[in-house]
Amino acid sequence: MDLTHQTMWVQDKAGKRTFGPVPIRSGRKAFPTRAGMKKIYAKKVKEWSTLYNVSMPYSQYFDGGQAFHAYAGAMSDPPGSHGCVNMRYSDAKALFSVTRTGDQVYIWGRKP
């Protein structure tokens, strides 16, 4: 995932792109999406954030409470998420179908 360009994609071990690139919406200044090498450790089709009182469809957790998940608004909506990686509903659903628990997630760059 490229925080600088607010895009993400999936590659196989040979480096062939198998999904994306698609636009994302990462964490706002006070709640940045943490960069580095991560792993998907949990996947839930229907999820609810009790912390922020919001639905998080197609959640895939990769670092603490940070996850990929569907977002109803536009990817360009400021100021950003609370650290999660927001995706269009169709992209989050498609990503959910191509990843598995244990898959690596590499996050680099800095949100503009």
Residues with active-site annotation: 69, 84
Residue with tokens 């690596």: 104
Residue among 44, 35, 42, 9 at smallest CA distance from 24? 9
CA quadruple 29, 77, 81, 91: dihedral, nearest 10: -130
Q: How far apart are the first and last CA of the chain?
A: 14
